[in-house]
Amino acid sequence: MSARASAVKLTKSTKVFMQSWDQVKSNWGDRRQREFEKDFMETLPDDVSAAIRVIEEIDKILTRARRDCEE
């Protein structure tokens, strides 16, 4: 799997995960749920976006390395 394909898969998986989280938290709703959401879920979209940026940069580097090796 290419780095770019991994980034796309991560984006889709995160979207599905966040939708599932919305369902879970509507049934959970206690102090532990709020702590979990604050500690992990609130930062998840930003963390995934940062990871995707890094994956895209890695993809560029790998593409250049492949191109340089072919020359």
Q: How far apart are CA 51 and CA 7, in angstroms?
A: 8
Q: What is the pLDDT along the chain (71 residues), one digit of tens a residue?
A: 788 899 999 999 999 999 999 999 999 989 999 999 999 999 999 999 999 999 999 999 999 999 999 87
Compute and round to an integer the Cα radius of gyration of the chain: 17
How far is Cα of residue 11 from the mean position of the Cα atoms in its chain? 5
Q: How far apart are CA 69 and CA 28, in angstroms?
A: 54
